[in-house]
Amino acid sequence: MASVCCIVLAAGNSKRMGENKMFLRIGGKYVLERTLEALQKSGCFEQIIIACRGGDMQAVETISKRVLTTPFVLAEGGGERQFSVGKALGAAAGFDIAAVHDGARCFVSPDLIRECVKKAVETGAAAAGVRARDTIKTLCNGTITGTVDRENLVNIQTPQVFKYGLLKAAHDKANAEGFVGTDECVLLERMGIPISFVEADRNNIKITTPEDILLGKLIAGENTRTGWGCDSHRFSPNRPLILGGVNIPHTQGLLGHSDADVLIHAVIDALLGAAAAKDIGAHFPCTGKFAGISSLLLLERTRDIIADKGYRIINIDATVIIERPKLSPYVKQMRENIAAALQIDITAVSVKATTTEGMGFEGSEEGASACAIAAVFG
């Protein structure tokens, strides 16, 4: 049986994206993470070689260790796609078949990978792609001069899979002649080697521009989630009254292990609930390390927990239930504090206050409570 490896191209400079697209999150997962998962699930490869930039190697290794059970190695990429593949081919020596796949094609299906590998084993070379759907015209000096028969036109993607000897010979010839191609197929075409076409589905997109991210989110099934949180604390003398990170003058404050900021605690639980990430007590238990801690610091840590799970905060709506004092003079500062801790715009934070008109423990000034709703996207 043929031995097969895969070269993953993750060394691009992402000029059109403005940031490294390998580390963008779509549907709660990094682009590179999704790509490696598909390669892993295909069951085709005995080794995966990831060509990446030197400065990204640690991050790439961390993701790869989390996702892959298949052995993998990292190779420093080159300034052009062809050079990255050329460097990785050294690590691929000894394999019968070498696949090349764009790390940014993170929605590739395991079935497509398997079909490309199967076809390359049978014919020597295979590449995935989709048939042209638009009418293609020729152009000269800004004028349309004709129509091309689209029945014979395809948009080539990856995986592109080859017998190792063919791919290596094509690279050596191109390098010797100073030719730089846009993909591996063109290098084999120059040698007159036929390449089998494997039709891909339309989800095998390449994340290249911000518009591709929007389509990727749709494919990944990203959606909006909401969470609800509530908290209450009793009043105690000789304690500061901290609400929304604001020290509010009052005759007594709320009792708790931390600063007992009932508003922030409700917001934290709402965010954790939206991400299905347990509750405030699971992350910040009543132990010595959190004694007297500012709840704004806990909110910042909650923001990181949410981000690590792949969620982006949309907005917060919270209400404090307290008989006295009046909170309206402090609401703006509370909103600013919460927005700063969550790194969102203040317009995405609503804080309100109400009383129970003398009813219940809030009305009798035994304590105060708060409730909050958080919306996240991911």
161-170, 271-280, 283-292: least confident range: 283-292
pLDDT for position 17:
59
pLDDT for position 254:
97
Q: Is the model's pLDDT at 197 over the cut of 90?
A: yes
Q: Is the model's pLDDT at 223 over the cut of 90?
A: no
Q: Is the model's pLDDT at 299 over the cut of 60?
A: yes
pLDDT for position 1:
81
Letter for the amino acid at 309?
K
Percent of the chain with pLDDT over 90: 89
Q: Which helix (H) or strand (E) holds 86?
A: helix 81-92
Is 66:32 a contact under the CB 8 Å cutoff? no
The tally of CA atoms less than 13 A away on the side-chain side of residue 274 is 31
Map tokens 């000096």 to a residue. 141
- Give the pLDDT band of residue 14 (cuts 50, 70, 90): low
Q: Is the model's pLDDT at 15 over the cut of 80?
A: no
Average pLDDT of the chain, as a whole number: 95
Q: Is the model's pLDDT at 18 over the cut of 70?
A: no
Percent of the chain with pLDDT over 70: 98
Q: What is the mean pLDDT of residues 262-284?
A: 96
pLDDT tens digit sequence for 45-62:
999 999 999 999 999 999
Q: Is the model's pLDDT at 19 over the cut of 70?
A: no
Delimit the domains of the chain by residue range: 4-220, 224-377
pLDDT for position 74:
97
Which carries the bigger pLDDT value, residue 332 or residue 152?
332
Enter the CATH code of domain 4-220.
Answer: 3.90.550.10
- Whole-angstrom Cα distance, residue 16 to residue 155? 20
Q: Report the DSSP beta bridge partners of residue 148.
A: 136
Map tokens 């790869």 to a residue. 64
2: Cα separation from own chain's centroid = 34
Q: What is the mean pLDDT of residues 167-177?
A: 97
- Give the pLDDT band of residue 42 (cuts 50, 70, 90): very high
- Whole-angstrom Cα distance, residue 312 to residue 375? 9
- Give the pLDDT band of residue 342 (cuts 50, 70, 90): very high
- Whole-angstrom Cα distance, residue 270 to residue 76? 43
pLDDT for position 288:
83
Tell me whether strands 125-131 and 196-199 are parallel, antiparallel or unpaired. parallel
Enter the CATH code of domain 224-377.
Answer: 3.30.1330.50
- Whole-angstrom Cα distance, residue 103 to residue 101? 6
- Whole-angstrom Cα distance, residue 187 to residue 175? 10
Q: Is the peptide bond before 159 cis (omega within 30 degrees of 0)?
A: yes
pLDDT tens digit sequence for 87-139:
999 999 999 999 999 999 999 999 999 999 999 999 999 999 999 999 999 99
